[in-house]
Amino acid sequence: MGNDWKNCELGDVIELKRGYDLPKTKRIKGGVPVVSSSGTSGEHNAIKVAAPGVVTGRYGTIGEVFYIEDDFWPLNTTLYVRDFKGNDPLYVYYLLKTIRYSDYTDKGAVPGINRNHIHKAKVKVPICPKYQRTLAINLFDLDKKVELNRQTNQTLELMAQALFKSWFVDFDPVFDNLLAKIDFKLENLASDLPAELLKNAQKRLHALQERALQQSCDLHALLAESQNNIHSHFPSEFEFSEQIGWIPKGWEETTIDELCRINPQSWTKKNAPKAVKYVDLANAKNGAIGEIANYTFDDAPSRARRILQPHDTIIGVVRPANRSFAYVNEEGLTGSTGFVVVRAKKENYRAFSYLALTNEDCIKEFTRIADGAAYPAIKPEDVAKAECVFSSDAILDKFEYTVGALMKKIAANEQQITPLISLRDTLLPKLISGELQIPDVVPA
C-alpha cells in the first residue's frame, strides 16, 4: 500500500554533510543564496549544492530547518542533506523539523550538532516517496498561506511607512502646494529660498514631472484631485525650527509623550488576571507579533506585566537595532516589561505615533543613544521624548483614515495567520509520525 511505514535510523533516510567555508570578504554578489544556521544570510556567484535543498544548523542556531528552492551555498555552520536516498526532499524538510536536536547537541562551550550522532536518531517514515510528497504538500500549502499573508502585511507596512515619510519627513504635499503657487517654474521661487529647500523643491518637481508623463497629463491636472482632497490641508510655506530645522509653516515640534501615554497600565498582585497571553521581546519583530505564549499568571515570567490594548505601539528597549517593535492588533495581550508601551491619547494619533517611532531614522537614533556594552538599551523616557512634528488634527484625521485602513488589513491577515500556524504545528508531528494518515496513494 502507498502508506506503509518503516522504523529506521535517520541515516537510513538521508545523509547529512557539513557545509563549506565562505568568509564574507570572499563573497561575490551573484544571486546564489548563502545559507547559514539561521537561514539565508547573503549571496555569492558560485553554486555548491543543487536545489532543492534542506539545511539545518550545525553550530550557532540549532534546531532551525530550511527548505531551499534555488541552487545554494551552505556555510560551514550548517549541515545540509547531501543524499536524499530516493526520499522526497520536501518531506525530509518536515521530518527534520520534528527532530529533538537537544538530544544530539555537544556539551561543549559552544554547543553543536555531530552529524554522526544525529544519523542515529530513530524515525518512522513512509516507504513510498509519492505518499511522502502528499504528506509534505499538505503542510507546505499551510506554510504558503502563512507566508503569503506575511508578505502581504510587509507590503502594507511599507505602504504605510512610505506615506508617513512623504507627509511628515519629506513634506511632499507642502512642496506640491509651493510649486503649484509658482506655476511649477523654479525661476519663480523667491531668491532668498534656502538652498536645502530649493534642492528639495527641485527633487519634488522632477518626481511630479515623471508622474505626469506616465499619466499623460499636465502638472496642474495631476494635483487637481489631490488638492481638493489632501493638499488643501497642507500649507505652501516653510519656517525654521531651532530644534529640528525647516518644517511646514504653522506646524509645531513636539515629543511623543505630548501625543501618547507611556506604559499606561501594568498588572500587579491586586489586579492580576488568572491567565495571560504573553508577548516577549523575541516575538515582536518589524511591526508584527509572532508567537503568543499562554500562562497562568502565577506561572508566567516575572516580566509579564505590561497590559496591552489594540492600537498600542510596543518598542523593545534592548538592542533597538533588532527592531523588536509591533503594532498591537489583538485584545487581551500582556507584554514584557522589556517593552515600552505607547498608547495614543486620541484616535487620530495611533498610526502617526507608531510610524513616528518605528521609521528608519528613529530606530537609528534609538540605536545611537542606547546605553550599555553587553545589553545596549534605551529607557522609557527616550521613547517619551522622541521628537516629531505636529501638523493638525485635520491632517492626522486624513492620515489615520488612510493608514488605519492598511492597519486593519494587516490585523485581518494576522488573525488568519494564527490559526494556520496552530493547525500546521498540530498536523506536523501527527502526519510525519504516521499517527494521522491521509488516504492511500497508489505508487506510480
Is residue 431 one of the residues assigned to a domain? no
Is residue 29 one of the residues assigned to a domain? yes
Is residue 214 one of the residues assigned to a domain? yes
d(C-alpha 45, C-alpha 323), whole Å: 30
pLDDT tens readout for residues 363-388? 999 999 999 888 899 999 999 999 99
Are residues 236 and 263 located together in one domain of the fold?
A: no
Per the CB < 8 A criterion, the answer to whether 43 and 34 are in contact is yes
d(C-alpha 72, C-alpha 27), whole Å: 13
d(C-alpha 383, C-alpha 354), whole Å: 11
- Measured in degrees and rounded to the nearest 5, phi and psi for residue 99 equal -75, 135
Residue 226: the pLDDT is 63
Residue 441: the pLDDT is 44
CATH of the domain at 265: 3.90.220.20
Are residues 287 and 365 located together in one domain of the fold?
A: yes
How many alpha carbons fall within 13 Å on the CB side of residue 253? 12
Are residues 110 and 224 located together in one domain of the fold?
A: no
Are residues 245 and 277 located together in one domain of the fold?
A: no
Residue 374: the pLDDT is 83
15: domain range? 5-127
C-alpha cell of residue 354: 507608531
Of 122, 98, 102, 121, the residue nearest 113 (C-alpha)? 102
Are residues 242 and 345 located together in one domain of the fold?
A: no
Are residues 115 and 49 located together in one domain of the fold?
A: yes
Is residue 173 one of the residues assigned to a domain? yes
Are residues 368 and 311 located together in one domain of the fold?
A: yes
d(C-alpha 438, C-alpha 250), whole Å: 67
Is residue 119 one of the residues assigned to a domain? yes
Is residue 274 one of the residues assigned to a domain? yes
Is residue 133 one of the residues assigned to a domain? no
Is residue 151 one of the residues assigned to a domain? no
Per the CB < 8 A criterion, the answer to whether 85 and 15 are in contact is yes
Residue 105: the pLDDT is 80
Residue 442: the pLDDT is 42
Report the number of distinct structural domains present in the chain: 3
Q: Is the peptide bond before 52 cis (omega within 30 degrees of 0)?
A: yes
pLDDT tens readout for residues 304-321? 999 999 999 999 999 999
Are residues 241 and 270 located together in one domain of the fold?
A: no
Are residues 302 and 363 located together in one domain of the fold?
A: yes
Tell whether pTM > 0.75. Answer: yes
Residue 434: the pLDDT is 85
Per the CB < 8 A criterion, the answer to whether 251 and 234 are in contact is no
Of 362, 351, 259, 367, the residue nearest 318 (C-alpha)? 367
Are residues 121 and 167 located together in one domain of the fold?
A: no
Q: Tell which of 106, 127, 148 closes a domain.
A: 127
DSSP for 192-252?
A: T--HHHHHHHHHHHHHHHHHHHHTT--HHHHHHHHHHHTGGGS-S-EEEETTTEEEETT-E
Are residues 233 and 288 located together in one domain of the fold?
A: no
Are residues 227 and 326 located together in one domain of the fold?
A: no
Q: Which residues of the chain have pLDDT under 50?
A: 440-444
